Amino acid sequence: MTRQSGKAHGSLGPDSPATLPLGQTTDEQFMAMVDQQRAMFVRLADAVAAGEELSRLDRKVVAAALKLAASNLPDSPPRSRGSAHRARFPHGDAVLEYYAMIRNPTRPIKKTPAVEALAEKYGVSIEAIKDAIKKHGPAAEALFE
C-alpha cells in the first residue's frame, strides 16, 4: 500500500481492462490491460526501490514476478544466426493467461481447451504451450493462490 493514497499498488476494479475475460477482448481492451499491468509492475518496482511498505498481495506479486523472470533466463547461450529457428512466443505471458483462464472464478475454461486456444493464439504447437506451462507454471501459479 502506498502511504499517500492508502490503496494497494496493484488494485484493480471489477470493470478494469485487466479483469476482462481472456479471449474475449478487443485489441484496444487487450492493450489497455497490458498497459495497466505494466504500470502496476512499474509502481511496485518504484515502491520496492523506495523502501515503501508493501501489502501482502503486493509482496506475493513481486515474488512471483521475480520467480517468473528467473525462470525465463536462458539455459544455454543464444544460437548462431545459421541455426534452426525456434518458435518464439512470450512464454511467461502464455502461462499467466493459461492460469487466468483455468482459474477464472466466473467462467473457468478446462485445461485442454485453454492450451489449444493459447497454441492457436501464439501460433505454436500444443506441445510448446505444455512445455512452457511445465517450466514456468509454478511461478505463474503462485500469483493465483
Question: Can you give the pLDDT at residue 83?
Answer: 39
C-alpha torsion angle, residues 19, 24, 28, 31 (rounded to 10):
50
Question: Can you give the pLDDT at residue 51?
Answer: 94
Question: Can you give the pLDDT at residue 10?
Answer: 46
What CA–CA distance (Å, rounded) separates 31 from 44?
20
Question: Can you give the pLDDT at residue 79?
Answer: 62
Q: Residue 62 carries which side chain, given as an amino acid letter?
A: V
Question: Can you give the pLDDT at residue 2?
Answer: 38
Question: Can you give the pLDDT at residue 82?
Answer: 44
Query: In which residue ranges of the chain is pLDDT below 50?
Result: 1-18, 82-85
Question: Can you give the pLDDT at residue 25?
Answer: 60
Query: Residues 15, 33: contact at Cβ < 8 Å?
Result: no
Question: Can you give the pLDDT at residue 138?
Answer: 86
